[in-house]
Amino acid sequence: MIEPTPKSRRSFKLEYKIALTYLVIGFLWILFSDKVLDMMEPDDTLLTKFQTYKGSFFILVTTIMLYLLVQRHMKRLGVEEAKRMESERHYRALFNDNLAVILLMDPISGKIEDANQAACNYYGWDYPEMCEKTIFEINTSNKERIRSNLAAIVSGKINHFEFKHRLANGEIRDVEVFTGPIQLGDRTLVYSHINDITEQKIAREIIRKNDERYRNTLDQMIEGCQIIGFDWNYLYLNRAAEIHNKRPNDELMGRKYMDMWPGIESTRVFQLIKQSLEERTSSHFENEFVFPDGSIDWFDLSIQPVPEGVFILSINITERKLQEKQLYESEFRFNNLYESGPFGMVMADADFRFKKVNDAFCNILGYSEEELQQLRFTDVTHPDEIGKDLPNVRRLINREITVYKTEKRYIRKDGQIIWGSLTLTSTYDNEGHFLYNLGIVEDITPRKQAEELLKNSKKLLAETELIGKVGGWEFNIDTFQQTWTDEVYRIHEVDLDFKQDINAGINFYAPTSRPIIEDAVQRVIGLGEPFDLELEIITAKGNLRKVHTIGKPDLENRRVYGFFQDITERKKAEEEIKKLNETLEQRVEDRTLQLRQSNQELEAFSYSVSHDLRAPLRHVIGFSEKLESRLKTMEDPEVNRLTGKIKASAAKMSLLIDELLSYSRYGSTDLTLIPLSLDSMIDEIIREANDLIKGRNIEWNIQPLPSVTADPTLIRLVWQNLILNAIKFTSKKEHATIEIGCQQTSQKEIVFFVKDNGAGFRMSYADKLFGVFQRLHSTEEFEGTGIGLATVRRIINRHNGSVWAEGVENEGATLYFTLPR
Amino acid sequence: MKMIDCILLIDDDLNDNEFHSLAIEESAACRQIREVNNGAEALNYLIRSADPANAGAFPLPDLIFLDLNMPLMNGFTFLEEYSKLEPGMKAKKLIVMLSVPLNRSDEIKAKSIREIDDFCFKPLTSVMVRDIIDRYFDC
């Protein structure tokens, strides 16, 4: 058990203080009290009295002070003793109740002199057993080493060990020993505080392994990791560092930093590493590193002091820097654009209020900048567009989309509606809060109007194409890329997404057409010769179609363009018409031939009939005349009458035959059309009719007539018939009037007429007038065969004219006919 | 009064021939009349008339009256052959007799034949015969 014996320096000091205090007070009292008495200058009796009082007072004060001091000292001695006892107890408790294991041992014998409860618990012996043991039984090290250690402890050289100690149950534990010599009375003992570190050792092993793992991790990191020692030697470099340094780690390891990068001492990075090495500061910065070959990379560097020196973490940010540079440049450009660019630029806040607008935007909308700053975008947007814009702008602000592009209608200040192309993006601060919307607006009104026109004309074209089965095409001379309009695809019977070029187009042509189109295409490309062809194609569905294709060169624009039409139906129709026409012509020809043949036959027939009929008639007449001249001598009047009748009948038959012959003849023979003077013709006819006119009272009223182009023989026959008829039918009138003239009724034809005041006819019979053998009067009344007017109609019809008659019975008739001019 | 020696009538119609012969006799302008009934007979006659031995039976005619419409050899065929005859076998004049006017094609054809001196319509009368002889003969 410990008996501490502290030195009482404090009581010595007290005695000294008391003596000194007494000496000082006594001396001061004598000095000052006498001075005070001198200043008062009292008489001698009073002085003696004062001296007495003064001595008494001094004795009183020093006695009180002495008493107080002695009393206080005595009291303090008692307190200190009590304190000492208390402390003794405390130390005892501290030793015994300490949770830490504490041993006291003899440094020579190694015997355990004392042990606390914690030690007994730890080692597993009770207190008496514990005090029987030596340290050599506990410490597993050999004795000699323990002795030397103990000697070192006593000399104060070492105060910390790690040992392995054996417990009562034989278990061996790792312990850490804090130790030192302790003087108890005249003995020097060794005090040991034992701390079990078995668990810590295990933990340390784990930590060591972790360290290794970290090192591996460092090796694998993307960031470059380098450790530079205090002597500036490279201690560690990971793989990324090898890439960042652009030289092998082996080349750097163990070498000095400034030897490897000559000239590095003048750089900021060197200064910061130096500062970190010397002042243990850390820094983080971006550094532009110029390699020995002159190339430049940017690094984000962290420099940290570590026990070995400095740790440098590097990230290559060259790419980011480049982007930043570009961004900076684009921002610079953007500023220019903003101020003076051709595009309208506008900043608007979350309430769609215009914050900032440039001149171009003001010009587009016709407002001033101040006016626009009072407005929201909804105020200048066409009402129909707002429904589309609002949700999209909200999505943009909410970062659901990054950009909103639209073509929309704006309303200008003057009310005019214009089209603008808007590109809208949102800008945020670093925390991701919405700042403003930035819009770029371009006035595309002219383009939109052009588009609208184009759309309309395209629609019209498409409709036209569909109706006309006609399309357009063009191809580029250099690339052979070909464009078709929709109808061209339809004509080829392929879908609109059919991939076609000029060769694919040519392959559609039928084998007979292909060489033609190939030649045409070569010529149009090579010589600029246009083509216009009707060819055949075989469609994708295998149908043969006839097409009309026209190609024209536009060499200036390196293209050929043209027209493509499906003419299958038209061609079919044309061919049908052609076929019909051919058969029709054939039929007409056949018919004409038949007609001609039958006409010729008829003519031959009538000719031979008249010829053959005439001969017997001639003989009847001739021989009856001979007979008459023989019988004259018989003086019989009856002979004359009978032969007269024979001759008259024969003559009438002869006339009949003549007229029948001319009727058949003039209806079928070819016309010889020549210009005729009608005036002379009519004079001649009247002159020839002299026999009939003789003795008659006829008033001729003949207008000058124009010349016509007609067949002279036939027209003469017409006039002859009409004039002789007029003479004939006026024969019963005492005063006959015959009028011949013409009327110009149209540009196409001339109407001629022969008018008389003769027997006339009933208009109800007018249609019978021109029939063959149709007679309105008896032969006794007026001679005639009934063939004359039929012949007239036939001749006039053959001249493409017409014939008609007007008449009043007993008052006269007018015969009209027309001839073309 | 003019008088010719011989007239040849070429006609298949016997009645016409008789009537025409009467008319020629009546005209008293011709001494002899010969009649043949078609072109072939007429050629035969003319060829024989060139032979002096036949002078009495086949005198060479001064004037021929030719009918066109005949069997065996018609007038046009006869004229073709007649044109090939030697001058000594031809009459001085040849008149074509018509019973109806010629149709146009015959008219054109007839005009191209040099041997035809004139046309006349049947029937011949004594007046017509005298007229023709006066017109075409000097004697």
pLDDT digits (tens, 9 = 90+) for A490-538: 889 998 888 878 888 888 999 999 999 999 988 988 888 999 999 999 9
Closest CA to A529 of A507, A552, A512: A552
Counting one residue from chain A and one from chain B, the pairs whose CB atoms sit within 8 A come to 36
List the end-to-end C-alpha distance of chain B, in Å, as a whole number: 9
Q: Which of residues 41-100 of B touch A (CB under 8 A)?
A: 69, 99-100
Q: Does residue B129 sit in helix, strand or coil?
A: helix
To test the contact with chain A by mutation, choose from B11, B21, B25, B99 the residue with the greatest count of A C-beta atoms within 10 A, namely B99
- Span A147-171, average pLDDT: 86
Judge contact between A315 and A224, C-beta under 8 A: yes
Which residue would you say has higher pLDDT here, A204 or A312? Answer: A312
Mean pLDDT of A450-462: 83
Q: Which of A385-399, A499-513, A553-567, A601-615 comes out lowest in average pLDDT?
A: A601-615
Q: Extract the tokens encoding A385.
A: 């567009």
Residue of B nearest to A669 (CA): B104
Asked if residue A129 and residue A169 are part of one domain, the reply reads yes
Task: Assess whether A701 and A621 both reside in one domain.
Answer: no
Is residue A9 pLDDT above 60, yes or no? no
Categorize the per-residue pLDDT at A8 as very low, low, confident or very high, splitting at 50, 70 and 90: very low
Whole-number pLDDT of residue A259: 87
Q: What is the full DSSP assignment across A439-499?
A: EEEEE-HHHHHHHHHHHHHHHHHHHHHHHHTEEEEEEETTT-BEEE-HHHHHHHT--TT--
What's the pLDDT at A337? 62
pLDDT of residue A13: 67
Q: Which pLDDT value is given to residue A773?
A: 65
Could you tell me if A162 and A295 lie in one domain?
no
Evaluate if residue A4 carries a pLDDT over 60: no
What is the predicted pLDDT for the residue at A669?
Answer: 66
How far is it, in rounded angstroms, from Cα A205 to Cα A1? 41
Question: Three-state secondary structure along A742-769?
Answer: EECCCCCEEEEEEEECCCCCCHHHHHHC
**Would you call A611 an interface residue with chain B, using a CB distance cutoff of 8 Å?**
yes
CA distance B33 to B36: 10
Chain A residues with beta carbon closer than 8 angstroms to that of B100: 607, 610-611, 614, 661
Residues A648 and A731 in one domain: no
Q: Comparing A235-244, A549-558, A666-675, B126-135, which segment has the lowest mean pLDDT?
A: A666-675
Phi-psi region of A741 (alpha: psi -120 to 50; beta: other; left: phi over 0): beta
The whole-number pLDDT of residue B129 equals 93
Per the structure, the complete domain to which residue A761 belongs is given by: 670-820
**Average pLDDT over chain A, rounded to whole?**
84
Average pLDDT over residues A579-596: 83
* pLDDT (0 to 100) of residue A330: 64
Residue A678 lies in a domain: yes
Distance from CA of B16 to the nearest CA of A (A): 7
Any bridge partners for residue A710, and if so which?
A: A674
Residue in the block written with tokens 């570590």: A306
Which CATH number does the domain housing residue A681 bear?
Answer: 3.30.565.10
What integer pLDDT is reported at residue A780 of this predicted model?
Answer: 63
- Compute the distance between CA of residue A351 and CA of residue A101 in angstroms, rounded to an integer: 76
- CA distances from residue A201 to A163, A170, A176, A211 in whole angstroms, order as listed: 12, 20, 10, 15
> How far is the C-alpha of B117 from the C-alpha of B94, rounded, in Å?
5
Prediction ipTM score: 0.75
Q: Tell me which chain B residue has its CA closest to the CA of residue A610.
A: B100
Tell me: pLDDT of A473 over 50. Answer: yes
pLDDT top residue among A152 and A462: A152
A605 and chain B in contact, CB less than 8 A: no
Say yes or no for a CB contact (<8 Å) between B99 and A615.
Answer: yes
Q: Are the CB atoms for A184 and A174 separated by under 8 Å?
A: no
The total domain count for chain B is 1
For residue A110, pLDDT over 90 is answered with no
Residues of A in contact with B122 (CB under 8 A): 614-615, 618
What is the model's pLDDT at position A2?
A: 40
Give the pLDDT confidence score for residue A447 in this predicted structure.
85
pLDDT at res. A821: 78
| Torsion angle defined by CA atoms of residues A711, A712, A717 and A723, in that order, rounded to the nearest 10 degrees | 120
Determine the residue of chain B that is closest to A614 in CA distance: B99
| Nearest-by-CA chain B residue for A713 | B104
List the single residue in A614, A665, A670 with the smallest CB-CB distance to B99.
A614
Report d(CA A296, CA A294) in Å as an integer.
6
Q: Per-residue pLDDT tens for A58-109?
A: 888 888 888 887 787 788 778 888 888 888 788 778 788 888 888 888 888 8
Task: Extract the tokens encoding A617.
Answer: 């008639």
The percent of residues in chain A predicted with pLDDT above 90, rounded, is: 9
Range A119-144 average pLDDT: 87
Clarify whether residues A69 and A206 are in a common domain. Answer: no
- Does residue A332 sit within a domain? yes
Asked whether residue A681 falls in the same domain as residue A813, the answer is yes
The reported pLDDT for the residue numbered A722 is: 92
pLDDT of residue B32: 92
C-alpha distance from B125 to closest chain A C-alpha (Å): 9
CATH number at residue A351: 3.30.450.20
Distance of residue A647 Cα from the nearest chain B Cα, in angstroms: 14
Q: Which residues contact B16 (CB under 8 A, 6 or more apart)?
A: A615, A618, A619, B67, B122, B123
Domain of B51 in residue numbering reads as 4-136
Q: What is the pLDDT of residue A1?
A: 39
| A518 plus A600 within the same structural domain | no
State the residue for tokens 């429904």.
A387
Based on the domain organization, do A457 and A533 belong to the same domain? yes
| Final residue in a domain of this structure, among A93, A111, A145 | A93
* pLDDT exceeds 80 at position A424: yes
Task: Give the CATH number for residue B85.
Answer: 3.40.50.2300
- Mutation site for A-interface testing, chosen from B100, B106, B126 by largest number of A Cβ within 10 Å: B100
Task: Please compute the mean of the pLDDT values over residues B70-74 and round it to a whole number.
Answer: 82
**Band of residue B63 on the pLDDT scale cut at 50, 70, 90:** very high
- Annotate B39-108 with DSSP letters as a single string: HHHHHHHHHHHTSGGGTTTSPPPSEEEEES--SSS-HHHHHHHHHHS-GGGS-SEEEEEESSPPPHHHHH
Pairwise CA distance, residues A289 & A608, whole Å = 135
Q: Tell me what pLDDT residue A538 has.
A: 92
Residues A815 and A687 reside in one and the same domain = yes
Asked if residues B3 and B139 have their Cβ atoms less than 8 Å apart, the reply is yes
Question: Are the beta carbons of A495 and A484 closer than 8 angstroms?
Answer: no
Tell me what pLDDT residue A6 has: 45
Please identify, among A316, A333, A349, the residue that sits at the C-terminal boundary of a domain: A316
Q: Domain boundary residue among A44, A66, A93?
A: A93
What are φ and ψ of residue A286, in 5° steps?
-105, 135
Mean pLDDT of the residues in chain B: 88
What average pLDDT score do residues B76-92 get? 90
Q: For A291-335, how does the pLDDT look when each residue is reduced to its tens digit (9 = 90+)?
A: 888 888 888 888 988 888 898 988 888 888 887 777 666 665 566
**Residue A615: which of B16, B22, B104 has the nearest Cβ?**
B16
Are residue A390 and residue A489 in the same domain, yes or no?
no
CB A184 within 8 A of CB A2: yes
Q: Give the pLDDT confidence score for residue A719 in this predicted structure.
A: 93
With a cut of 90, say whether residue A756 has pLDDT above it.
yes
Q: What is the per-residue pLDDT for A327?
A: 67
Q: Are residues A354 and A298 in the same domain?
A: no
Distance CA A270, CA A502 (A): 70
Are A177 and A256 members of one domain?
no
pLDDT exceeds 60 at position A7:
no
* Counted domains in chain A: 7
How many other CB atoms are there within 10 angstroms of residue A639's CB atom? 16
Sign of CA dihedral B16, B21, B27, B31: positive
Q: What is the pLDDT of residue A515?
A: 92
